[in-house]
Structure 1
Amino acid sequence: MKSIEIMVNEHENIRRMLKVVRGLSYQVMTLGEFHIEDVDKIIDFIRTYADRHHHGKEEDILFKTMNEKIDRLRKAGSITGMYIEHDLGRLYMTDLEAAVKDYNEGSDEARLDIIANAIGYANLLERHIEKENMAMYRFAETMLEDEDKKYIEKEAEKIEIEAKEKGLQEKYIKLLERLEEKYLK
């Protein structure tokens, strides 16, 4: 499925950002050079590229279809688990944003919350991506009927076209590359 291939490629970009998150967290921990505005840029990447764009396709199209059409997965709670992990990632981002606010208001102790939430998110997403790539996507390709796959392909393509028209991928890949240059030495 082309849509799944695209989502796997998006996972690779998200994993690249997770490395940036670790690099920046290390700088925060060691009192090295970092720019707090870069944390805001990371949050924007995660909320827009990873969550709205990527997770949006998973939740609203792929997982929804799988939940409706594959009784075995629905009954086992597999898809619900994916939704829960997405929500936990969103909580980490909300808490990271609050930590940045506290840091900007003068709390040096907020460094702990920046690191904790950034690393918590990175660790969660590494494991989450592996489950999706190795299990959920394979289940979709092998367990869904052809008509369901066609529906997923059609709906995902609409989202890709809209994102391309808005320059979403280009914007966030360029941001990712700039942050990699700063924090992955």
Structure 2
Amino acid sequence: MRLKLPTVVLPSVLLLASACIVEAPGGASAEQRKAATVTQVPALSVRNGANLGGKVELVAATVQPGRLTPGERAQVTLYFKVLQAIDEDYLIFVHVEDAGGRMERMNLDHKPANGMLPTSQWKPGETVKDEFSIYLPADANPKALNIWLGLWDPRTDTRLTLTNPDAVRNDGKNRLLVAQVPVAR
């Protein structure tokens, strides 16, 4: 059962539009797993290849639209290929920052696949799709937004380690720079 939460608009910040998912005991249903996984990553996705702990590869991401206008929302879609079974339930942490450093960072941490498929239920070989949106208030004026992310265990306050940091854009703290989105004037 999905419950839509209202999006609250605050000046000069980004917000996550999220839905609350009530999870049934015993894990994801076959329908939920089908909705949360894909057999192919869309061709127009930005390829990534970040390996997180040898367990997950961030294969690709899309940001639509590719240029954000103040007062509008962008949809971000991530594609995670599962390499090994994961025992923990990680959150996807997302930090959206003004590339120029003039806005406060927004934390858009969330459960993968809208809460339908926790990481402990991911199966090796499948590709899990995660979607979320960012909102840029009408009065915001950054030139570009950086979207950083990774997998985080809130119980231990640890991030899944980036095992190939020389191959992908990162900050040396297990945060991946997935995209820099220009802002229209």
Per the normalisation by structure 2, the TM-score is 0.24
> Greater Rg, structure 1 or structure 2?
1
- What TM-score do you get using the length of structure 1 for normalisation? 0.24
Identify the structure with bigger relative contact order (alpha carbons < 8 Å, sequence gap 6+): 1
